[in-house]
Structures are given as C-alpha cells and as structure tokens.
Amino acid sequence: MPLTDLAARAGSAMRAFAEASGDLLVQPTLRLGVTGLARSGKTVFTTALIHHLTEAHALPAFAPAHEGRLRRARLVPQPDDDVPRFPFEDHYAALTERRLWPRSTDRISQFRLAIEYERAGGWRSGPGTLMLDVVDYPGEWLLDLALIEQDYTAWSRATINGTRRAGRAESAAPWLALLETLDPNAPLDEVLAERASDAFKAYLAALRNGPEAVATTPPGRFLMPGDLAGSPALTFAPLDNLPEAIAPESLAWLMQRRFEAYKAKVVVPFFRDHFQRVDRQIVLVDVLAAVDAGPTAVAELEEALDAVLLSLNIGRNTLFSRLFAPRADRILFAATKADHLHQTSHDRLDALLRLLVSRAMRRTEAAGARVGTVALASVRATRETTVHDGAEALRAVAGVPEAGEVVDGEVFDGTSEAAVFPGELPARPEAVLEGAVEPGSLRFPRFRPPPVRPDALGRPGHLPQIRLDRAMQFLIGDRLA
C-alpha cells in the first residue's frame, strides 16, 4: 500500500477517534447521510425532516414524538466549517409561502440539530440530548466511489460497452461518432481532449434527461461540477482501442492522468472527509419514474441501487470500529412520491422497492447492518378521492398540477385542482420486471406543494406527509429511546 494511502487512512482514523471518543464521553452524536439519484426528492426530505423535528409534531410512527418525549429540537452551528450549510429556511419558504418545490441537490450541504428528549425509561431515565448531523449530497457522487478500484482502461471499456444497452443508441451516437476519430496514440492535444470531454458530457446529460434518469453513469461530477467546472480533473473521456501500454505524452496518457486526478482530487476526499464518517444512511429512489419508463429502466435502477450498497461502508459497529473505522449500521431505501398513488398501492410500491434491493439487502445484513425499505412522501401534495368512469369507480388522487402540466388534454394554470387516476401497480412486484406495466401508462403530473395554514389557535401548520415518520423511527428512533 502506498505511503500516501497509509497516511490518509491514519489521518482518518485519528480524526474518527477524536470525534467518536468525544461523542462517547461528552456528547452523543449521530451522523446521517441523505442521498438519492436525480429528482428523487432529497431536498424535500431533508427540509421536511427538520420541519417536523423542530416543530415537535406528534407523528404516529415516530415514538419520541408520539409519546411526548421529544422536548425540543433546534438548529445549531454545524461541525464542519468547510461544508455549505443546508439552507432550510429558503427551502421551507419555497414550500410554504410560494408553494414551489425547492431546487435540486447539486452539491454537498450539512446541518446540525440539537435534539432534547426524555429517555423512555429504565436505568437511563431522564433528559438527554442527541446531536444529529445530517449530510445531504447527490447520489451520483456516491456511485463515483466505484471508480476508486478501477483503472482508466477498465473504466473506458465498461463505459463504452454501456452504450450498447437498450435505448442508449440515440443518446450515444454523437459521442461515439467523435470517439471513432480519436487515436489514443496520437500526441496529447488539450483542445481535442476538451472536445471529447464535452461530447461525453452531452451523452451523460442525455441519459439523465431520458427514461434512464433513475440510473447514472459516472463520473457524477461531470453534470454537477460546482467550483470544479472547467478544471482539468473534469476534462477527460473514455477512449476506445486502448493499447496495453499507454505511451507517455499521448492523448490516452493525458486522459489517464486526468482520470486518476479525478479520483485523487474529487472522489477520495469525498470518501475520506464525509462519506466514511456516516453512521446511518437513507437512499431516496424515484421508483415510479423507472416503472413508467419500462422494464429496462427498472433493471437499470436495480443495478444502480446495488452499486450504491456496494459503495457503502456498512456493518455492525463496535467500540473499536466506531473509534477507528466507523460504519453505517442502518441503511434505509425510500421510494418517494407515494402521494402520486392511492394508498392501496403504497404497500405494492414498498414491495417493488424491496424486490429491487433484495439481493443487496442479503449481502448487507450478512455484514451486520440493518436494511429497511419504505414508500413515502416527505411532503404530501395530493389527497385521495374517487372518480367515476361510467359505472366504474376509480381510486384517484387530487391536487393542484403545476402551471403547464397537461391532464386529459387540459393545460393547467397552477391554481386549479385536478383529480387523476394514476393507474395501479401489480400485486406481484416481479410482474413489473416482466413488463406488466406498459411504458407511459402511468399518469404522474407534477403537483404543487399543498397549502400550509395556521390552526385555530394561530400556531403554524405542518407539512402533510406519508410514512415519513416511519423513516424517522428507523433512522434515529433508537437513539432517542
């Protein structure tokens, strides 16, 4: 192992020791990672989590709140001064004042909640305080961790082979046309490398905007560059027909060098400074988008979720592991946007998600970690109703579609309500993978957030949710017992 790797691991272990020993002896702390692939609802989940904790709502499935033991939760200064603060106030105002969904997560952010509670009883009865540190980051960054174990040649081969999957030919055509003109042994050329990188990024963008938006092909930062936009570490692309030995000062040599720089400057620091320190993890998943796109997209999602779990540092924590090599001991997969379905399909959505992660769940539980699934809506934008189609009564949902959404040929203005029969998921989840749901047959218009009004006493209203309290109980309930 290189000395630099040993030094990095030693530094991580020392920092973990300092943090964990301080937590154990002075202040209990739980670090929760929140992630998910594009448009899965990470920002809404995180905003709703803070909202319900700080307002101490009596959530039925969240024991500390339901039992009246949640005394107070307040935002306090976060522990990492080099990480942007999660802008809760802005996102909450967007949801409640303007009834707009907050912007998507495109960078890492963090907040700390000091949660004061009464212990449930036993020998540790009395008041307690838990510091909850939540790290919100794009799921595409998580999938980048798989690159750490790959070299440039293997990554190029796998990425090019990925273009042969069903439905990718049209998206990949412009990039592959340019790729055919590139000679890996040609002299390095900065301008040519930039052209190749731009064409590759356009391919990744097309994948994200197409039916496979639920899946991803790394590098994740290519579409979410932040302050690294235009840097050499983000200016490379796969090459075809690579020689066994890459010649110095060639185009392939330049691409290989930048690939390794991406891992060293972007991926490894994220793993070392943030991801390696997570105690619990929730992965949000837009299962409905995959189902509506067809069996190929569902299979892509299954593969992406498996890659997520392979990237996680999981297992049962002991005192030694918490001090020197902390692990995530609970992982929750959450199928979002359950409010787009009637409640009779919520358990079916959960069952489908459980099927997609079943293989990975067995592997994770064997390592000593707990894995759960839930179908939820962090903020419920609809209510349930019934629509009549002739003599048939259909279980539907009703809400206010966003301006420009089209339902039954009617274009909505963002103020009028619509009742929608979204369709039903099969009772047997395997049927989705077998093509039982015809692509495009489900109807999921984008609804506006619900109105939030004060109660009769003038107290602030709360954001309605579906099963968010179950997620909270799984992730942090045991630490507030």
Q: What is the CATH number of the domain that holds 327?
A: 3.40.50.300
Six token digits for residue 226: 């932040």
On whether both 233 and 314 belong to a single domain, the answer is no
Q: Tell which of 268, 290, 321 closes a domain.
A: 268
Q: Is residue 404 part of a domain?
A: no
On whether both 50 and 107 belong to a single domain, the answer is yes
Predicted local distance difference test score (pLDDT) of residue 214: 52
Q: Is residue 367 part of a domain?
A: yes
DSSP 177-239: HHHTT--TTSBP-HHHHHHHHHHHHHHHHHHHHSGGGGS--S-GGGT--GGGTT-GGG-----
Least confident of 371-380, 392-401, 438-447: 438-447
On whether both 124 and 171 belong to a single domain, the answer is no
Six token digits for residue 420: 């929608």
Q: pTM to 2 decimals? A: 0.87
Instruction: Tell me the C-alpha distance between 391 and 420, whole Å.
Output: 17
On whether both 264 and 283 belong to a single domain, the answer is no
Q: Quick one: DSSP state of residue 479?
A: G
On whether both 305 and 337 belong to a single domain, the answer is yes
On whether both 279 and 263 belong to a single domain, the answer is no
Instruction: Tell me the C-alpha distance between 63 and 193, whole Å.
Output: 56
Q: Is residue 396 part of a domain?
A: no
On whether both 130 and 166 belong to a single domain, the answer is no
Q: Is residue 106 part of a domain?
A: yes
Predicted local distance difference test score (pLDDT) of residue 337: 96
- Which of 136-150, 212-226, 236-250 is the most confident on average? 236-250
On whether both 73 and 31 belong to a single domain, the answer is yes
Q: Is residue 408 part of a domain?
A: no
Q: Is residue 421 part of a domain?
A: no
253 three-class SS:
helix
Q: What are phi and psi of 63, to 5 degrees?
A: -55, -45
Q: In whole numbers, what is the pLDDT of the chain averaged over residues?
A: 87
Residue 327 pLDDT greater than 90, yes or no? no
On whether both 95 and 125 belong to a single domain, the answer is yes
On whether both 85 and 100 belong to a single domain, the answer is yes
Instruction: Tell me the C-alpha distance between 145 and 152, whole Å.
Output: 14
Q: Tell me which residue range forms the domain holding 344.
A: 3-137+274-380+467-480
On whether both 257 and 282 belong to a single domain, the answer is no
Residue 99 pLDDT greater than 70, yes or no? yes
Predicted local distance difference test score (pLDDT) of residue 315: 46
Higher-pLDDT residue of 230 and 212 is 230
Residue 160 pLDDT greater than 80, yes or no? yes
Predicted local distance difference test score (pLDDT) of residue 459: 74
Give how many domains the chain has, as a whole number: 2
Query: How does pLDDT run across 350-385, given as a tens digit for each residue?
Result: 999 999 998 778 766 766 788 899 999 999 999 999
- Which of 26-30, 145-149, 246-250 is the most confident on average? 246-250
Residue 208 pLDDT greater than 70, yes or no? yes
The one-letter amino acid code at 278 reads: V
403 touches 413 (CB < 8 A) = yes
93 touches 87 (CB < 8 A) = no
- Give the pLDDT band (50/70/90) at residue 121: confident
Per cent of the chain over pLDDT 70 is 89
Please report the sign of the dihedral spanned by the C-alpha atoms of residue 241, residue 247, residue 248, residue 250: negative
362 three-class SS:
helix
- Cα-Cα-Cα-Cα torsion 184, 185, 188, 192, nearest 10 degrees, comes to -40
List Cβ<8 Å contacts ≥24 apart for 398-404.
Answer: 399/339, 399/447, 399/448, 399/450, 400/447, 400/448, 401/445, 401/446, 401/447, 401/448, 402/445, 402/446, 402/447, 402/448
Q: Tell which of 224, 244, 268 closes a domain.
A: 268
326 touches 279 (CB < 8 A) = yes
129 touches 103 (CB < 8 A) = no
On whether both 27 and 53 belong to a single domain, the answer is yes
- Give the pLDDT band (50/70/90) at residue 314: low
Predicted local distance difference test score (pLDDT) of residue 405: 94
Q: Tell which of 240, 268, 296 closes a domain.
A: 268
Q: Is residue 443 part of a domain?
A: no
31 touches 337 (CB < 8 A) = no
Least confident of 47-56, 173-182, 322-331, 393-402: 322-331
Predicted local distance difference test score (pLDDT) of residue 326: 54
- Cα-Cα-Cα-Cα torsion 341, 289, 429, 308, nearest 10 degrees, comes to -120
Query: How does pLDDT run across 21-69, given as a tens digit for each residue?
Result: 444 456 899 999 999 877 899 999 999 999 999 998 989 999 999 999 9
